Amino acid sequence: MAKVSVAEQRGLVLAHGQVQPWISGTFHYWRVKPDFWAPILENIKKMGFEMVETYIPWGVHEIERGRFEFGETDAEKNLEKFFQLVHQAGLKLIVRPGPHINAELTHFGYPSRLMYDPLIAATEASGGYSVHDAAPKAFANPSYASQKLYNETALWFDALAPLLKRNLHPQGPIVSLQVDNETGYFFRTGAYLLDYSPESIGWYRTFLEKRHGTLKALNDCYGSRYASFEGIEPPRYFAGEKYQDLPYYLDWSRYKEWQINECMRRIAEMWRERGITEIPFFQNFFGPVNSPYNTNEAEQGNYGLEVVGLDDYQRKEVFFGTSRKSAYLAGSSKLPFIPEFGSGCWSFHLWENALNIGDQQFTTPLLFMYGLKAINYYMIVERDRWMGSPITVDNKIRKPYFDFYAGWNAFLAKTAFHQWDPPRDLLLLANYDIERAIKAMRVTEGHFLHFLPDELAYPDKPPMFQYLLEEECPRWTDNQWRYILKNHLPAFCSDTIISSEKMEGYKAVWVPTFEFMDQRAQKNLRRFAEEGGTVLMGPLVPSLDENLRPHSEFKELQNAFQANVGKGKLVLLREWNEKEIGRILTEAGVQSVAEWAPPEILCTRFKKDGKEILFFANPAEKTVSFPSPMKKGLVALWGAEGTVSPGQTIELKPWSVTVWEVRP
Amino acid sequence: MIHPDVVYEHTEINQVRNFVDISKIAQPNPRTLYVLHENGRILKAWDSASGKVSVPGPLNPSFEKAEELRLQFKADEVQLIDRETYQRYLKEALNLEKARDLTGYDFKEWTKNLKLTMGNGFLIHPAREHYDYFHYVERTKAFIREKLQPDCVFLIGVNEGRDWWTSGVFVFTGGLVTTVSTFETFEGKEGMDAALPATHQNLMTTAAWKFQKTAFGLFLSREPFELFAKNQWRKMGQQILLKTAP
């Protein structure tokens, strides 16, 4: 039995059974003079943090191949000393030992000796090595299929594991470990960019064999005549002419999804083999939620990961995406968690999102407002190549930032916010099959070395499907979330990879559907309806499965807009019609948390033990005022002061989030 | 021009944010007509301003054809991209030895120059000075070579009233930038009137002493700085620099 585990929707369960809310911040010990470590930890505590997080950089601790420095001569690398100080301070520690860490280091934390090795480098569709054109120094992105990389990583893990093991909770501060970092092709998200290295192609063929079982089954699926799995070459761009050609291309995308998870599984297994067995492992995808990334599969599959979160670095103006990301995690993950949330920004590439206090004051509460339960602020201590954190590299305080985190953490602690839950009325599902296909149907890919507009990738030719999927599917998905926001509906998001267990408890599920959908996803939706829920779909009824073969679990809808199945119903929405959507959702029992609130503001509601709190956010430059028609008064908990009696005006300042307790 | 081990410390984020936002204005952002083709068979044509467009095919790519399309579609730039040639470009550019041997910016510049030598199969008309955010590599290098010294510290201060709107401190070692900061790195100088020449000279002296290198300085107010940005920083390097020995 692990000494630390994950409490669903709450946090970590520690050795003595208490639940620790996961609110942490990042501090890179090796980039700060050791004399500052203890006083900085004290300042971190003063902000109300009970957990800190750090990378452990392989490339920094390695002196030469197989030899490592942990403070014997260089005090800044004295990892055990750092662990001890964290423990003495009464803080818990999250470690992220790689092998990949990025950390804005020149070689992303890998030893530089590995970064130009053809046996480690990933290969792109063009046949070139996957060179990462970073400003100080370009290097090759490693291949997740490189056995040499795993062999070299083993040397690092061998050296580090004993040190970690003797500092695990409760003897030491370590309560969780991240497996690798942002595993996902180093920001190259296109289906046909990488990895085409010989070892990766070997993995691809192994994957095809696992997926199809026999060559005959594969040939039946593709309509092909391959004589062996070894004879199958991966696609390097989409050249299909009809929809029956798609399975071959979709399998390449599926392989890439699997490759990420298989890489994480191997690394997790390497830690377990070295005795790190008593703490949960987690992973962070860098942001996107479509192929090759999937939180549901990474958590549900047998990959050794307890929690899979999504990183986020955005200015407040993109609140639409930030709120949806939070709702996605709340609908998908065991513990809705952002492992890296921008507290400041890297100064490295003069990136366009230099986040400042105005962004953090708005976006941080916004995340919690839409269901986030766990967060790691990256970074709360500045260092080389990072700016805008509450504590500087020499332990000075940036007061507005420091005060904000201290105040927000106090709010979370005082309310025990991790114990509050929003109503789960509605679940929005992104159609993962369609989104995978959209990426697989590209005839070319833009590249870091040469920008190409996305639209160029979809050629002019007779359409395979009724709609241009690359236009129609995102339109429906975006419209759905826009509809949720303006109507203040209690909704979470996920995608069609979700398990049927995670769909339990909702009143309705709404998913954009087109000609094809995974059989398992179809069955899950049907089961949800049969057990009493409402499934809203459209504009088309799926009539094909994931291999584009005839299959539909929704035959009742082929000639009707609505059908009762079991205790619930299936409803088809052929066109976007908000009046009709409103009627269907109301009938399903989905209720606005504040139908009286203006559509331009955001509003969510949480409950605990019969008590209620309301979040209001104003995502615009103008103040918004409106009367409270509630029969009960409101008491300000965050972002405002005083009380609002029934009929009194609520005033929301520009770019503000306020939290109110509803008087009993 | 950036050392692989460059250190960025004591950077004040609001000043950097101002610089980042103004740098977006400095992007040329041309209206571009992209034509993706396969050995002349047109796959898709896309105008960055108006979206999908129709270009009659088959295409016989040449500079003359690119110019004809540029005028026809009122574009600033035309890119005629044969898919195979584009892949050949990527294969050549994704070169492990070049990545290992060149500095990061030299690698960027090398890949840029390579893309302009791919013939009619990957034709960009007219050629741009750069294709990447913030990176006017050749001009920046010329400025460093002609106006600074291989070992020096360069200050840039842009004031709005008596406050710094943006600032930068760039320490050069052997011709490469080894440290980047804003004026936050100069402790005890907060609150000085950013508009005053005396403040500028004070910072110059402090920088020369702190880094034990000759300091060069460029100080101006926000309005002319924004004008330079709108002109893609052209002629800004011709400003007279302050110079202070350590």
Q: Scan for tokens 């191997």, then name that residue.
A: A266
Counting every residue written for chain B, the total comes to: 246
CA distance B130 to chain A (A): 11
Q: Tell me if A412 sits within 8 A of A418, measured CB to CB.
A: yes
Q: What is the DSSP letter of A597?
A: S
Residue A383 at interface with chain B, using a CB cutoff of 8 Å: yes
Residue A128 at interface with chain B, using a CB cutoff of 8 Å: yes
- Is A659 in a helix, a strand, or coil? strand
Mean pLDDT, residues B75-84 taken together = 97
pLDDT 10s digits, A235-282: 999 999 999 999 999 999 999 999 999 999 999 999 999 999 999 999
Residue B120 lies in a domain: yes
Q: Tell me if A349 sits within 8 A of B135, measured CB to CB.
A: no
Residue A631 at interface with chain B, using a CB cutoff of 8 Å: no
Same domain, B20 and B58: no
Who wins on pLDDT, A657 or A352? A657
* Percent share of chain B, pLDDT over 70: 99
pLDDT 10s digits, A110-121: 999 999 999 999
Rounded to an integer, what is the distance from CA B80 to the centroid of its chain? 24
Q: Tell me if A306 sits within 8 A of A12, measured CB to CB.
A: no
| Yes or no: domain A5-117+146-185+264-418 corresponds to CATH 3.20.20.80 | yes
State which residues form the domain around B144.
2-25+136-244
User: Across the interface, which of B8, B9, B44 has its CB nearest the CB of A458?
Assistant: B44
pLDDT band at A348 (very low <50, low <70, confident <90, very high): low
Same domain, B234 and B152: yes
Looking at every residue in chain A, the average pLDDT score rounds to 96
The region that residue A302 occupies, defined by phi over 0 for left and psi between -120 and 50 for alpha, beta otherwise, is: beta
Q: Tell me if A655 sits within 8 A of A618, measured CB to CB.
A: yes
Same domain, B8 and B73: no
CB contact set of A531 (below 8 Å; sequence gap of 6+)? A566, A567, A568
User: Across the interface, which of B10, B90, B131 has its CB nearest the CB of A451?
Assistant: B131
Cβ distance of B95 and A128 shorter than 8 Å: yes
pLDDT band at B26 (very low <50, low <70, confident <90, very high): confident
Spell B21-37 as b/e; 16+ CB within 10 A means b.
Answer: ebbeebeeeeebbbbbb
Residue A239 at interface with chain B, using a CB cutoff of 8 Å: no
Cβ distance of B83 and A237 shorter than 8 Å: yes
Q: Which residues of B touch A192 (CB under 8 A)?
A: none
CA distance B118 to chain A (A): 13
Burial class (CB in 10 A: 0-12, 13-18, 19+), A610: exposed
Report the 10 Å Cβ neighbour count for A273.
12
CB contact set of A449 (below 8 Å; sequence gap of 6+)? A133, B90, B93, B94, B111, B115
Q: Write out residues 321-380 of A within 8 Å (CB-CB) of B.
A: 344-345, 347-352, 354-356
Residue A235 at interface with chain B, using a CB cutoff of 8 Å: no
Q: Which two tokens stand for residue A293?
A: 């990334």
User: How far apart, in whole angstroms, are the C-alpha atoms of residue B246 and residue A487?
Assistant: 64
Report the 10 Å Cβ neighbour count for B70.
18
Rounded to an integer, what is the distance from CA B155 to the centroid of its chain? 18
Evaluate the omega torsion of the peptide bond into residue A195 and state whether it is cis, within 30 degrees of 0. yes
Structural domains counted in chain B: 2
User: How far apart, in whole angstroms, are the C-alpha atoms of residue A233 and residue A251?
Assistant: 12
User: How far apart, in whole angstroms, are the C-alpha atoms of residue B224 and residue A126?
Assistant: 45
Q: Tell me if A140 sits within 8 A of A133, measured CB to CB.
A: no
Cβ distance of B134 and A350 shorter than 8 Å: yes
> pLDDT at residue A661 above 80?
yes
Mean pLDDT, residues A470-474 taken together = 96
Q: What is the CATH number of domain A602-662?
A: 2.60.40.1180
Cβ distance of B93 and A128 shorter than 8 Å: yes
Q: Tell me if A624 sits within 8 A of A652, measured CB to CB.
A: yes
Amino acid A135: pLDDT: 82
Q: Tell me if A528 sits within 8 A of A535, measured CB to CB.
A: yes
Boundaries of every domain in chain A: 5-117+146-185+264-418, 426-588, 602-662
User: How far apart, in whole angstroms, are the C-alpha atoms of residue B187 and residue A596?
Assistant: 53
Same domain, B140 and B209: yes
pLDDT band at A351 (very low <50, low <70, confident <90, very high): low
Pairing, β A634-638 against β A624-627: unpaired
Same domain, B150 and B186: yes
Amino acid B160: pLDDT: 98
Q: Which residues of B touch A137 (CB under 8 A)?
A: 4, 103-104
Same domain, B142 and B238: yes
Q: Tell me if A379 sits within 8 A of A401, measured CB to CB.
A: no
User: How far apart, in whole angstroms, are the C-alpha atoms of residue A181 and residue A281?
Assistant: 12
pLDDT 10s digits, A498-542: 999 999 999 999 999 999 999 999 999 999 999 999 999 999 999
Cβ distance of B4 and A127 shorter than 8 Å: no
Q: Which two tokens stand for residue A660?
A: 């109110």
CA distance A449 to chain B (A): 7
Q: Which residue of A has its CA nearest to B116?
A: A450
Same domain, B144 and B239: yes
Pairing, β A534-539 against β A568-572: parallel
Rounded to an integer, what is the distance from CA B78 to the centroid of its chain? 21
Q: Tell me if A136 sits within 8 A of B97, measured CB to CB.
A: no
Cα torsion angle, A481, A482, A484, A485, sign: positive
User: Across the interface, which of B8, B19, B94 has its CB nearest the CB of A385?
Assistant: B8
Residue A606 one-letter amino acid: F
User: Across the interface, which of A128, A354, A392 has its CB nearest the CB of B16?
Assistant: A354
Report the 10 Å Cβ neighbour count for A445.
24
> pLDDT at residue A350 above 70?
no
CA distance A294 to chain B (A): 29
Determine which of A38-42, A385-389, B18-22 has the lowest per-residue pLDDT on average.
Answer: B18-22
pLDDT band at A216 (very low <50, low <70, confident <90, very high): very high
Q: Which residue of A has its CA nearest to B83?
A: A444
CA distance B162 to chain A (A): 21
Q: Tell me if B155 sits within 8 A of B168, measured CB to CB.
A: yes
pLDDT 10s digits, B154-182: 999 999 999 999 999 999 999 999 999 99
Q: Which residue of A has its CA nearest to B103?
A: A137
Cβ distance of B111 and A449 shorter than 8 Å: yes
> pLDDT at residue A349 above 80?
no
Pairing, β A374-378 against β A23-26: parallel
Amino acid A181: pLDDT: 97
Supply the pTM of this predicted model: 0.97
Substitution target in B1, B2, B7, B11 with the highest count of A β-carbons within 10 Å is B11
Q: Which two tokens stand for residue A341?
A: 């949330």
Helix then strand count (H, E) for chain B reads 8, 11
Amino acid A285: pLDDT: 96
CA distance B33 to chain A (A): 11
**DSSP assignment string, A461-527:** S--SSSS-HHHHHHHHHHHHHHHHHHHT--EEEEETT--TGGGTT-SEEEEEE-SB--HHHHHHHHH
Residue B67 lies in a domain: yes
Same domain, B163 and B233: yes
The region that residue A595 occupies, defined by phi over 0 for left and psi between -120 and 50 for alpha, beta otherwise, is: alpha
Mean pLDDT, residues B10-29 taken together = 89
User: How far apart, in whole angstroms, are the C-alpha atoms of residue B125 and residue B115?
Assistant: 12
Output the CA angle A99-A100-A105, nearest 5 degrees. 120
Same domain, B16 and B63: no
Instruction: Please choose, from the candidates A302, A342, A305, A306, the residue with its C-alpha nearest in 3D space to the C-alpha of residue A322.
Output: A342
Number of A to B CB contacts under 8 A, please give it. 156
- Is A364 in a helix, a strand, or coil? helix
Q: Tell me if A550 sits within 8 A of A544, measured CB to CB.
A: yes
CA distance B48 to chain A (A): 8
What distance, in Å, lies between the first and last C-alpha atoms of chain A?
42
Residue A595 one-letter amino acid: E
Q: Tell me if B177 sits within 8 A of B6, measured CB to CB.
A: yes
Instruction: Please choose, from the candidates A182, A194, A57, A187, the residue with its C-alpha nearest in 3D space to the C-alpha of residue A133.
Output: A187
Residue B130 lies in a domain: no
Report the 10 Å Cβ neighbour count for B50.
12
For chain B, what is the radius of gyration of the CA atoms?
22
User: Across the interface, which of A137, A351, A453 has its CB nearest the CB of B103?
Assistant: A137
Q: Which two tokens stand for residue A7?
A: 């409490």
Cβ distance of A130 and B94 shorter than 8 Å: yes
Cβ distance of B51 and A121 shorter than 8 Å: no
> pLDDT at residue A416 above 60?
yes
Cβ distance of A384 and B9 shorter than 8 Å: yes
Q: Which residues of A touch B89 (CB under 8 A)?
A: 126, 450
Strands (E), A288-336: 307-310
Mean pLDDT, residues B30-55 taken together = 96
The secondary structure element, H or E, covering residue A127 is none
Residue A499 at interface with chain B, using a CB cutoff of 8 Å: no
User: How far apart, in whole angstroms, are the C-alpha atoms of residue B212 and residue B153?
Assistant: 9
Same domain, B166 and B235: yes
Q: Which residue of A has its CA nearest to B97?
A: A116
CA distance B192 to chain A (A): 19
pLDDT band at B202 (very low <50, low <70, confident <90, very high): very high
User: How far apart, in whole angstroms, are the C-alpha atoms of residue B101 and residue B104?
Assistant: 9
Q: Tell me if A352 sits within 8 A of B133, measured CB to CB.
A: yes
Same domain, B44 and B68: yes
Q: Which two tokens stand for residue B173?
A: 């070692």
pLDDT band at A175 (very low <50, low <70, confident <90, very high): very high
Instruction: Please choose, from the candidates B15, B10, B16, B33, the residue with its C-alpha nearest in 3D space to the C-alpha of residue B134.
Output: B16
Q: Which residues of A touch B48 (CB under 8 A)?
A: 453
Burial class (CB in 10 A: 0-12, 13-18, 19+), A396: middle
User: Across the interface, which of A345, A347, A447 has its CB nearest the CB of B90?
Assistant: A447
